[in-house]
Chains A and B, each alone.
Chain A
């Protein structure tokens, strides 16, 4: 691995140096992620590690926002990247790699959230008290945390993509495999449900 990784890093440094030498306005706009994807598919395993390092935090944030639990999110991130590793040859390049990755991350995190919900339905009450409501980090407004907990995983996914990852409606639509109008409607409904829960209009 070490040889491949060093070679990969060397190539990356070389690429970056070349790009930096060209004035920004003349730089060709190319997708660095796509270059890494192609390099991985050509057998360079170091390229996948670069994609992992580049997107780990973003995938963790999406997963954390949907699952609301750091430990489960860390576990989900490893599953998500395993899926990406196994299915990268299916990436059709019609969307950006990051959009495809978010789609995998959102779907898998929602599945996990649903499984957790079912799992917690069958635990003992004493155990459930400890496990159902993970404590929010101290700096999160508890009211926000509680409101997010009361939403469905799908609603949380929409809010996380919009407010945390600041994706455009088009990017959200691509990530959820729907059209822009559907994404807009779903986002606005999720936002309204969040407001109503936050302001105590619904429980």
Chain B
């Protein structure tokens, strides 16, 4: 098929997508040489629109939402951008080190002397030792850098609840440990009595998980995702076996 002039091409797309039969007929009457192109375009647009129905027929019949534990974060760097950032970081650290060395280099006169030669400051009176200044100044002893403290959720905590709602208790425990908690739907409505002392927040959540049938997934970024265990008998009742995806 020969290439259409741009303005005719735009018109043909518009007519095919709009689906107005009268407008299409008028176009065919006015531009009989492009009638075939219009018909081909209408077939194309109808074809792609019709492809939706059979495509979504293959969907499972509303499966129960089962959150995934290890989902990659929403926005990830593409390898190219990551490589560029790495190169930039390397260059920046090289530049900083280079300029630091230049700034701390001893003056040229000092370099001309042999290493370790004493520089006489003054002739002392007889019987006294001459004072000498070494070329190299011993490096200053830096105070040790403060070690980063463990995050709160890795430090032992003490918590105690009596007659507390499970979800609220989990949120309170997480808040005390500085954790960001997300609870997936399906957590049982339970009232709990617990008391812990000297255990980390994650350990508390794991212990509670064993008792109340949920799994806390530590996301490693100060957040934890709580996923309740699935009640297989309930799922089997609600969802027909044929609709459960693999």
- Once A48-B185, A104-B74, A199-B40 are accepted as A-B contacts, the answer to whether A145 and B59 lie under 8 Å apart by CB is no
- State the CA gap A83–B67 with chains docked (Å): 9
B59 and A74 contact, CB distance less than 8 A: yes
Chain A facing B: main interface SS: helix
CB-CB under 8 A from B134, the residues of chain A are none
B109 interfacial contact with A, CB 8 Å: no
CB-CB under 8 A from A78, the residues of chain B are 63, 65-68
A49 and B59 contact, CB distance less than 8 A: no
Scan residues 164-180 of chain A and give those whose CB is less than 8 A from a CB of chain B: 164
Choose from A64, A85, A104 the contact partner of B59 (Cβ within 8 Å).
A64
A199 and B1 contact, CB distance less than 8 A: yes
CB-CB under 8 A from B53, the residues of chain A are 139
Instruction: Write out, one digit per residue, whether chain B residues 62-81 have a CB within 8 A of any chain A CB (1) or not (0).
Output: 11011110011011100000
B131 interfacial contact with A, CB 8 Å: no
B57 interfacial contact with A, CB 8 Å: yes
B49 and A191 contact, CB distance less than 8 A: no
- State the CA gap A144–B57 with chains docked (Å): 17
Which residue on chain B has the smallest CB distance to residue A144? Answer: B47
CB-CB under 8 A from B31, the residues of chain A are none
CB-CB under 8 A from B67, the residues of chain A are 78, 81-82, 85
Looking at the assembled complex, report how far the CB atom of A140 sits from the nearest CB atom of chain B, in whole angstroms.
5
B246 interfacial contact with A, CB 8 Å: yes
- Once A48-B185, A195-B44 are accepted as A-B contacts, the answer to whether A140 and B59 lie under 8 Å apart by CB is no
Which residue on chain A has the smallest CB distance to residue B40? Answer: A199
Interface-located stretch among B100-108, B139-147, B186-194: B186-194
Given contacts A81-B67, A137-B54, A198-B44, 17 further A-B contacts (CB under 8 A): A1-B189, A45-B185, A45-B186, A45-B187, A46-B185, A57-B59, A60-B59, A61-B56, A70-B58, A85-B182, A111-B76, A136-B54, A139-B53, A139-B54, A144-B48, A164-B52, A198-B47
B interface residues, Cβ below 8 angstroms from A? 1, 13, 40-41, 44-45, 47-60, 62-63, 65-68, 71-72, 74-76, 167, 182-189, 223, 225, 228, 245-246
10 nearest A-B residue pairs (beta carbon): A70-B58, A137-B54, A45-B185, A139-B54, A164-B52, A82-B67, A144-B47, A60-B59, A74-B245, A3-B189
